[in-house]
Chain A
Amino acid sequence: ETGVTQSPTHLIKTRGQQVTLRCSSQSGHNTVSWYQQALGQGPQFIFQYYREEENGRGNFPPRFSGLQFPNYSSELNVNALELDDSALYLCASNTRGETEAFFGQGTRLTVV
């Protein structure tokens, strides 16, 4: 059984660019959640995907969007990057209805 894997582990982008982060959910999990963790802060919920549809969203603007694929893997897309988007982006997967999610190691995004 493989855990949650995220790619890439680190990347640097320029303000105004677009970025795509990827997450492979743990085997058997059909729900993926994305979180943004700024330096020195706790993770903040961005959105959750279940069966390829957005299933809840936090306080993030529309330039944060996502996808979930039939194999339950997921992408987080961020358009028009801003300096404040620099953070660790965490993906978590679970089986819908279960009360525990498993986190990946995260992608460290730096916007310059």
Chain B
Amino acid sequence: AQSVTQPDIHITVSEGASLELRCNYSYGATPYLFWYVQSPGQGLQLLLKYFSGDTLVQGIKGFEAEFKRSQSSFNLRKPSVHWSDAAEYFCAVGLSGGYQKVTFGTGTKLQVIP
């Protein structure tokens, strides 16, 4: 069965600093990988996704993620964090063949300090 681990529950960064959120997955084949963001009281918004091809994926809001098969990782990065990036971030893995039974990690809550 597929699984996702986000080892950091909370992360605090200063505005303007760089950010890296960690994600490790377990899946037998090449997975579909996603990063979502959730603001308080809101639904989930897709930041980026990876299925195949270039292992460095660009997303919205200046985020990028890198797929590393050897490490089973899909870490999310942003070179300079803005106060509006404070939210909860979820890594997710899905089955191939489209959007099916996506498994989410437990999330990383990002706090941004001035």
Interface band, chain A? 20 to 34
Binding stretch for chain A, among B13-21, B61-69, B74-82, B92-100: B92-100
- CB contacts (< 8 Å) of A56 on chain B: these are 100-101
Count A-B contacts at CB 8 Å.
63
Count class of interface residues, chain B: 20 to 34
Interface status of A84 (Cβ within 8 A of chain B): no
**C-alpha spacing A45/B4, complex, angstroms:** 13
Given contacts A42-B106, A42-B107, A43-B90, whether A96 and B98 have CB atoms under 8 Å apart is yes
Determine the chain B residues whose CB is within 8 A of the CB of A40 once the complex forms: 106-107
Shortest beta-carbon contacts, A-B, top 5: A42-B104, A103-B43, A103-B44, A97-B98, A101-B99
* B contact residues vs A (CB 8 Å cutoff): 4, 32, 36, 41-46, 49, 51, 90, 92, 94, 97-107
